[in-house]
Amino acid sequence: MSKLHPEKDAMSKLHLFIEAIIFESRWLQAPLYLGLIVALAIYAYQFMLELAHLVSKIGGISETDIMLTVLGLVDVVMIANLLIMVIIGGYETFVSRLELDDHPDQPEWLAHMNAGMLKVKLAVSLIGISSIDLLRTFINADHLEDRVILWRVVLHVTFLVSALALAYTDKLMTNTSIVNSK
């Protein structure tokens, strides 16, 4: 058949070549995930600086300042958790499978990860980070303008509504895929 239709063979080879390039382009994301690892290292360094600063002021700092500093540390940890979810979950979902089946430290959530669930987990993490920031805002409300407090509350509510919309959309899509697979 190839002798009768050489143009079809050429188009087929071109088609396969284009598909291979498109599929392999996912590896362009790998440096982005490596960059996020660098950002994670910076957050770890920042955490240690803040912790050392808190320890150095022990005994001479008010309870409110301790609480605000500790909430800042919690905020850094939650951002680090968010980065880990994006790095590991994103790489696994969009670039390549991680060979972790026998690894004792494999995160449980990774076995159930897909793009929709990753979005929902990220949204929930953003809500947690926003909640910590909002708590810090309320503790420090005496030093902030009402307008700043209002916009932080509006932002937090926006995160909540967005997360609910993402979770609902993911649920609809999951139910649709279950119905279509039957």
pLDDT tens column, 24-47: 999 999 999 999 999 999 999 999
pLDDT single digits (tens) 46-79:
999 999 999 999 888 888 889 889 988 998 998 9
Cα separation, 168 vs 164, in Å, equals: 6
Structurally, the chain folds into a number of domains equal to 1
Residue 15 located in a structural domain: no
Residue 159's domain comprises: 28-181
Tell whether 129 is covered by a domain.
yes
Q: Does any domain span residue 21?
A: no
Rounded to whole angstroms, how far apart are CA atoms 82 and 152? 20
**CA–CA distance from 128 to each of 77, 125, 131, 170 (Å)?**
11, 5, 5, 20
Domain membership flag for residue 20: no
Residues with Cβ within 8 Å of 100's Cβ and at least 6 positions away in sequence, in order, are 106, 110
Residue 17 resides in a domain: no
Instruction: Kindly state the average pLDDT of the residues 135-150.
Output: 88
For residue 11, tell me if it sits in a domain: no
